[in-house]
Chain A
Amino acid sequence: MILHVEKMKKPYKIAVIDYRMSNMFSIKNALNMLGFESEITSDRARILASDGAILPGVGSFPEAMKHIKDLELETSIKDFITTGKPFMGICLGFQLLFEKSEEIEVTNGLGIMQGDVRNFLKINDKIRVPHVGWNTIKKNHALDATHSLNPLRDSEDDEYFYFVHSCYVKPEDKTNIYTTTEYAGIEFCSSVLKDNIFACQFHPEKSGEKGIGILNEMFSK
């Protein structure tokens, strides 16, 4: 399983948005390995000057929103997305894009995408949560074929990616659903694709060679 991505310096600078609660180092390590220049930052000017941005995330939704507000990142994130440059959300960084979450207490999110974030345990308290481990995706092939940004174009149905989460996203607009995944009998949205936004529940930076390939695909257009 040796990575076949060309390790060369790319004319691309990626901002890994720092809201002081994530393990951003693994994303930075992956970007380094791929030859991307990257920096972990919460500075508005530096984020906006980047060619691509990633909103990472590990931790709880209410804490994350509090940090995003304290660091005045909300408008920086929204303004970056408006530029049309590739923007990626990972795990909690995917959930934060939606309107609200019921994790711990109902909390408003960034509202960049319509829909909300729900707790697996509200459906069935017998479910083993967090959902940790390798699970498969089912891809919306029509979306993949028509969208110019399609970082999963090399991924097949039933390919494994690494998940760690207790809540899942329920988007309002089903046409944005890029992949779905099943856990404990629940089929949930595991990634969305809309304009310049790709956001996923799984961790590409922790999903081996195929996961790293998604990062490469995302920022090589």
Chain B
Amino acid sequence: MPLALRIIPRLDIKGPNLVKGVHLEGLRVLGKPESFAKFYYEQGADELFYQDVVASLYGRNSLQEIVSKTAKEIFIPLTVGGGIRSIEDIASILHAGADKVSINTSAIENPELIRSAANVFGSSTIVISIEAIKQPDGHYLAFTDNGRNSTGKEVVAWAKEIERLGAGEISLTSVDREGAGKGFDIVLAKQVMEAVSIPVVVHGGAGDMQHVLELSKQVPVSGISIASLFHYDYILHNRHTDGYEEEGNIDFLKSNRVLSHIDSVSIVELKSYLLEHDITCRKDEKTL
């Protein structure tokens, strides 16, 4: 039996809020990350991924408090990324209760950080995040800072280097597909999966359950990271704007609407659907 496909809700965080954008831009406030996290845990999420979307832009690291609250009540692995630059940064985020850290910008600027971090904390703790953008000639280049800055690194070559330097996992985002709800970039996922033999988690593009099935049928990815599909399901079930911190754009939240190009699907529904189509998922008797 193959290893269960990991279904990983991804929570983009800005200040105290859960946000969501399109192509990693145009962020809307959706609510409190801790509430979404607890809901996903109870629904049978296999892991959680927190990304502080502004940390690497403004050099701040505000996630710790949210991480520490989450780790006290959620007993599945938690990966945290955003603004991690040093061994000390990793130690402090692990100390707050994260199990793995995800690094992009500083790994590209200083690849040796991957090696030293893997030596200190163990390979499996170090996830390297790749933000890929397809070029007109069909090649993929790695970007930093939510797809804003090109690094000139070719994605497949960079993925191989990441593996060689000792990282335990790659988190691969297609910036082109991210938040667009048009399906995953299967070619990109396939290229990276075939290039390395460490686990690869794919993110960016799920607009409905069929997109998730299509990717998992065509490429044996280790995990799929999903934001909008699950977030809108949470909002439909827990719709209220009271108590949200007034930082950022909450007009979307107040407008009571859901993006037309993205369905809302619960983790329970998605896993049942995948199991019906012979994709191995962790089945939880209590929820499925």
Contacts and interface: CB of A to CB of B under 8 A. Distances in A.
Interface stretch (A9-17, A110-118, A124-132, A190-198): A124-132
B208 interface: no
Interface in B271-288: 282-284, 286-287
B124 A165 contact: yes
A160 B4 contact: yes
Contacts of B71: 25-26, 29
Interface in A191-221: 203, 205-209, 211-212
B121 interface: yes
A157 B96 CA distance: 34
B76 interface: yes
A209 B197 contact: no
Contacts of B168: 130, 132, 164
Contacts of A133: 3-4, 6, 46, 199, 222-223
Contacts of A136: 1
A183 B122 contact: no
Contacts of B282: 134, 160
B197 A128 contact: yes
A100 to B, nearest CB: 19
B43 A1 contact: yes
Contacts of B99: 23, 26, 206
Contacts of A160: 4, 282-284
B36 interface: no
A203 to B, nearest CB: 8
A58 interface: yes
User: What interface size band does chain B fall in?
Assistant: 35 or more
A8 interface: no
Interface in B124-178: 124-125, 168-169
A207 B76 CA distance: 6
B128 to A, nearest CB: 14
Contact of B97 (A26, A126, A162): A26
A208 B123 contact: no
Contacts of A207: 75-76
A143 interface: no
A128 B198 contact: yes
Contacts, number: 108
Q: Could you tell me the dominant secondary structure of chain B's interface residues?
A: loop
Interface residues of A, number: 41
Given A1-B286, A126-B197, A130-B198, A212 B75 contact: yes
Nearest to A127: B197
Contacts of B46: 133-134, 162
A132 B222 contact: yes
A1 B284 contact: yes
A59 B99 CA distance: 12
Contact of B169 (A30, A132, A165, A209): A132
Contacts of A182: 1
A213 to B, nearest CB: 10
A2 B42 contact: yes
A133 B221 CA distance: 12
A160 B286 CA distance: 13
A130 B99 CA distance: 15
Given A2-B42, A59-B121, A164-B124, A134 B6 contact: yes
Nearest to A212: B75
A73 B262 CA distance: 54
B39 to A, nearest CB: 10
Interface string B222-236: 110000000000000
A119 interface: no
Interface of B: 1, 3-4, 6, 41-44, 46, 71-73, 75-77, 94-97, 99, 119, 121-125, 168-169, 197-199, 222-223, 282-284, 286-287
Given A25-B95, A32-B72, 16 more contacts: A1-B43, A1-B44, A23-B99, A26-B97, A26-B99, A29-B72, A58-B125, A60-B119, A126-B197, A129-B197, A130-B169, A132-B124, A162-B76, A164-B77, A207-B75, A208-B41
17 contacts: A1-B44, A1-B284, A25-B71, A25-B97, A26-B99, A30-B75, A58-B122, A130-B168, A130-B198, A131-B3, A133-B3, A162-B76, A164-B124, A164-B168, A208-B76, A209-B286, A212-B75
